[in-house]
Amino acid sequence: MADTPLSTDAAAPLAHAKPGQYRFALVALTSLFFMWGFLTCLNDILIPYLKGLFELNYTQAMLVQFCFFGAYFLVSIPAGALVGRIGYQKGIVVGLVVACIGCLMFYPSASYASYWMFLAALFVLASGITTLQVAANPYVSVLGPAETASSRLTLTQAFNSFGTTVAPFFGSWLILAAAHDPSLEPTAADVQVPYLILAGALFVLALVFMVLKLPLLGLKAPAQAGKALAGNAWRYPHLVLGAVGIFVYVGAEVAIGSFLVSFLAQPEIGGLNHAEAANYIAYYFGGAMVGRFIGAAVMQKVPAGKALAFNAVGAVLLVSVAMMSSGTMAMWSLLLVGLCNSIMFPTIFSLAIQDLKQHTSQGSGILCLAIVGGAIIPMLAGLVADQWGIQVAFVLPLICYAYIAFYGTKGSRAPRPSL
């Protein structure tokens, strides 16, 4: 999930890159995509865990995603301004350190068994991830020819999906251990060791990026990176429609992932315990990983808009089946939505910033703010689930995917304003 490209001024030195010239930079950045995917996916484990621990309803449990993705809305602009002052490489280090602090905050949160402290820790963790994305995503999007930007960002996002594929096994093994053994009672302390391990990994990454020599990452971001709400980027209909696309995509993906464990645990669907259900999240995000590798190759030949619309229609059909059926059919239909999700974020992102020229960084900031959909749509879905059940709540992701199909076919082709 991700974002904020550079202006064309910053991107100009990269436009004539030779094939493979910046391969090392892409490889180094890939580790960041993996890590923030891993950390973000753990929220889907935390939601059923904290829901049971603190006896929450679905709406209250979705505060996990509200605090996490709300950080994107509140922190994106300050993070853009910070990266503009200190440069991309130092911005990455700051993001890693802040995320490390967020992980460390889980220890006192567990010691005091306070749900609100957990939410505060998640907000700090997400603030660090937001800073990472503001620094790393735009660099990847311009690290080569513009016509292959979607393919390039999709490839790096595939490693983000690899992180989300591995995370459920980690969370199931360490955080949901009590679900494996009925004699064990879940306690808040179950999250202390896993997040201390993650804090250590983030700290090591911060040290690595302090000493790495990455081409062009030391350059400062354009001054307007911290002014995403100013300027004329809002005059571009395809950007505004793309921001809505990012909003609904992130909201749909997060809402489905957040409900997966509870959905699969229902007797009429899978009848699994939470630890077993958590392992199936790997299929959801693993599908996204496989799809991104495939999409990176396919979109070298197929127009990005058509590929986006095709996947969105597939998601609409699969969510519809999951809503109207039960048992294995409903379970696997919902899990396969992950395959359709694969190319959506990077493709919407790349289509939305096309032809913005000097307004690219402003447009990128707008798209970054739109990630707040991951805070709002799951909360709305939680309200629906509390009233009418989880399957009915999936109507919100269904509507979101229908809009994405529209954006791929029509919205991304909206007329550009005359300058």
pLDDT computed for residue 22 by the predictor:
63
pLDDT computed for residue 299 by the predictor:
83
Q: If DSSP codes are grouped into helix, strand and coil, which group holds residue 94?
A: helix
pLDDT computed for residue 7 by the predictor:
33
Residues of the chain with pLDDT under 70: 1-25, 137-154, 157, 176-188, 214-231, 361, 419
pLDDT computed for residue 321 by the predictor:
97
pLDDT computed for residue 60 by the predictor:
93
How is 262-331 classified by DSSP, letter by letter? HHHHSTTTT---HHHHHHHHHHHHHHHHHHHHHHHHHTTTS-HHHHHHHHHHHHHHHHHHHHH--HHHHH
Domain 8-413 belongs to what architecture? Up-down Bundle (1.20)
Amino acid at 416: R
- Rounded CA-CA distance 151/133 in Å is 18
Residues 157, 285 contacting (CB under 8 angstroms): no
Would you list the domain boundaries of the chain? 8-413
pLDDT computed for residue 91 by the predictor:
86
pLDDT computed for residue 226 by the predictor:
46
User: Rounded to the nearest 10 degrees, what angle do helices 237-265 and 373-388 cross at?
Assistant: 40
Q: What is the pLDDT of residues 272-325, one digit of tens each?
A: 888 888 888 888 888 888 887 788 788 888 888 999 999 999 999 999 999 999
**Taking Cα atoms as reference points, which of 256, 261, 283, 285 lies closest to residue 274?**
261
Angle (CA) 175-180-184 rounded to 5° is 80
